Structure 1
Amino acid sequence: MSLLQLRQVHAYYGRIEALKGVSLTVNEGEIVSLIGSNGAGKSTTLKAICGQVKIQGSVIFGGKDISAQPPHRTALEGIAHVPEGRRIFPRLTVKENLEMGAFSVKDKKKVKERTERAFSYFPRLKERYHQPGGTMSGGEQQMLAIARALMMQPKILLLDEPSMGLAPILVDQIFDIIQELNRGGMTILLVEQNAYQALQIAHRGYVIQTGDILMEDEARSLLANDQVKEAYLA
């Protein structure tokens, strides 16, 4: 069943057309990977979904057109965005960052339950509970960024370059956690420059280039595609 659809979405930065009619679908329970080179429009696609850029076209979430909604409304309806570069609050502790993720939850018991659930995925954060986020390693900060998004109890998680700047062993850990989240029922749209690993864990994938979707297919088929291999997997 379709959870998220983009229909002929155009997005602009001034006179520059960053998205040129992007259409894609994410079904419930899937990991869908969006791959492409720098400047292809990957991050802009996520921003378009969240209402962070003005668009032409439609974003349909749970059967509802959310194209004109402000970002905070979209977040409350169940779309959590983990942006490129993590963007945690560096002076706030892990505890305070997680509480910011649950800003709309008034029930303290629910906040505690969601915190414990986040710790089940990221036990290292429990060890850093009172530590300022900015003093942690890059991998730990990425874990905190994802955990903060989970505090919203989202219906879909949008991940933008979660492996960026991380050592290979930490990249493997992050991708293992993404798969674990998906096995737990989380729907995920993954933007990632590491095309091989992104397609390894995805059900389906899209290739975007200069604002256009070039191809879409099952992830395993994209991994075997000669054009994809030459451009993104070499």
Structure 2
Amino acid sequence: MSLLELKDVHAFYGGIEALKGISLTVNEGEIVTLIGSNGAGKSTTLKSICGQVKVTGAITFDGKNITDQAVHQTAAAGIAHVPEGRRIFPRLTVKENLEMGAFSVKDKDVVSQMMERVFAYFPRLKERLRQLGGTMSGGEQQMLAIGRSLMMQPRILLLDEPSMGLAPILVEQIFEIIRELNREGMTILLVEQNAYQALQIASRGYVIQSGEMIMEDEASVLLESRKVKEAYLA
């Protein structure tokens, strides 16, 4: 069943058309990856879903039109966005950052349960609970950014370049956690420049170029595609 669907979506930054009529679907329980080069429109696609960019076309989530929804309404609907560059609160502690992710949850017991769930994925965050977010390593900040989004108890997780700037061993850890989240039922739309890693864990993939979808297929098929190999896997 389709959980998220984009149909003929156009997005603009001033007079520049960043997305040129893209269409995309993410079914419940899938990992779908969107790959492409810098400036292709990957991040704009996620921002469009979240309501950060005004678009034309149609975006539906769980059967409801969310095209014109505000960011806070989209988040409340169950869409969590982990942006490129992490965007944690550097002057807040790990605990405070996580609590910000659960700002709309009033029951303190529920917040505590959610926090323990995050610690099960990221034990290092529990060790750093009182540490300021801005003093953590890049890998730890990425864990915190994902953990903060999980505190929202989302239906779908939008991940924008989670491996950016991380050492190879940390990239492996982050991708293993993404796999584990998916095994436990989380639907994920993954934007990545590391096309090989992304296609290894995804069920399906899309290739975006200059704001247009140029390919879509099963991830295993895209991994073997000569065009994809030459452009993104070399």
Fold match, TM over 0.5? yes
CA-to-aligned-CA distance 1:5-60 (integer Å, 9 cap, x gap): 00000000000000000100000000000000000000000000000000000100
- For 2:125 and 2:31, the matched residues in 1 are separated by 24
- For 1:184 and 1:120, the matched residues in 2 are separated by 13
Instruction: Give the AA of the match of 1:227.
Output: K
- For 1:228 and 1:23, the matched residues in 2 are separated by 19
SS at structure 1 position matched to 2:178: helix
Indicate the residue corresponding to 1:226 in structure 2.
226
For structure 2, the 5+ residue unaligned runs are none
Instruction: Give the AA of the match of 1:115.
Output: M
SS at structure 1 position matched to 2:34: strand
For structure 1, the 5+ residue unaligned runs are none
2:202 matches 1:202: yes
2:13 matches 1:13: yes
The Cα of 1:152 is off from its aligned counterpart by 0.3
Indicate the residue corresponding to 2:160 in structure 1.
160
2:190 matches 1:176: no
Instruction: Give the AA of the match of 2:68.
Output: A
Instruction: Give the AA of the match of 2:78.
Output: G
- For 1:130 and 1:183, the matched residues in 2 are separated by 30
- For 2:38 and 2:138, the matched residues in 1 are separated by 21
Indicate the residue corresponding to 1:103 in structure 2.
103
Instruction: Give the AA of the match of 2:93.
Output: T
SS at structure 2 position matched to 1:118: helix
- For 1:93 and 1:109, the matched residues in 2 are separated by 20
- For 2:76 and 2:165, the matched residues in 1 are separated by 30
Instruction: Give the AA of the match of 2:216.
Output: E
SS at structure 2 position matched to 1:116: helix
The Cα of 1:133 is off from its aligned counterpart by 0.6
RMSD, aligned α-carbons: 0.3
Instruction: Give the AA of the match of 1:119.
Output: F
Indicate the residue corresponding to 1:59 in structure 2.
59
Instruction: Give the AA of the match of 1:124.
Output: R
SS at structure 1 position matched to 2:164: coil
The Cα of 1:182 is off from its aligned counterpart by 0.3
- For 1:11 and 1:173, the matched residues in 2 are separated by 34
SS at structure 2 position matched to 1:169: helix
- For 1:7 and 1:102, the matched residues in 2 are separated by 31
The Cα of 1:73 is off from its aligned counterpart by 0.4
The Cα of 1:187 is off from its aligned counterpart by 0.2
The Cα of 1:161 is off from its aligned counterpart by 0.2
- For 1:71 and 1:135, the matched residues in 2 are separated by 28
List structure 1 segments (4+ residues) > 2 angstroms apart after TM superposition: none
Indicate the residue corresponding to 1:28 in structure 2.
28
The Cα of 1:100 is off from its aligned counterpart by 0.2
User: What's the TM-score once normalised by structure 2's chain length?
Assistant: 1.00
Count of residue pairs the alignment pairs up? 234
User: What's the TM-score once normalised by structure 1's chain length?
Assistant: 1.00
Instruction: Give the AA of the match of 1:16.
Output: I
